[in-house]
Amino acid sequence: MSRIGRKPITIPDGVEVKIDDKNYAQVKGPKGSLNFQLSTEMDIKIEDSVIIVNRPSDSKKHKSLHGLTRTLIANMIEGVLNGYSKTLEIEGTGYRAQKQGKKLSLNLGFSHPVEIEDPEGIETEVPQPNRIIVKGIDKQRVGNYAANIRFLRAPEPYKGKGIRYSGEVVRRKVGKTGK
């Protein structure tokens, strides 16, 4: 049995979970609601505010879907209860971020500022000119949007300039050496 897949998921107070017979999950909580079509091969039961995920056989496909299905449900519950956030740090001379309504304006050393509009359900904050916080209830969309922002100017290995995740370590290379 999968160690992750066999863990029961407790449904906290204030969160409502509905899973129909075709494994379409609907989770509602204080921060919003999420919907997701889970694999129809897994057996999902809700008993006394506890969700249990079982697999029909020990085939490799069912083993991998077992832990995945349980984690997706747990992430949906966590998202509508507390939400998710990713912090990005900008490093480099003249590199900075500004928030203008629903747009994020980034000066990243290009000849023009890069403007990105926040997708629906995701919110960005700029508490300092060199820090961006991406918040939302869907873990996958928050991570994807943070990765798209980082992709605009990934940290380079010589001076370390660019956008990086908070706590990310950039491996530095030695530059040219003079004679």
Residues 6+ apart with CB under 8 A from 154: 162, 163, 164
Nearest to 84 by CA among 74, 93, 92, 94: 74
Query: Would you state the torsion angle of the CA atoms of residues 24, 139, 170, 164, taken in this order, to the nearest 10 degrees?
Result: 130
Q: What is the pLDDT along the chain (179 residues), one digit of tens a residue?
A: 568 888 999 999 999 999 999 999 999 999 999 999 999 999 999 998 999 999 999 999 999 999 999 999 999 999 999 999 999 999 999 999 999 999 999 999 999 999 999 999 999 999 999 999 999 999 999 999 999 999 999 999 999 899 999 999 999 998 887 66
| SS3 assignment, position 67 | helix
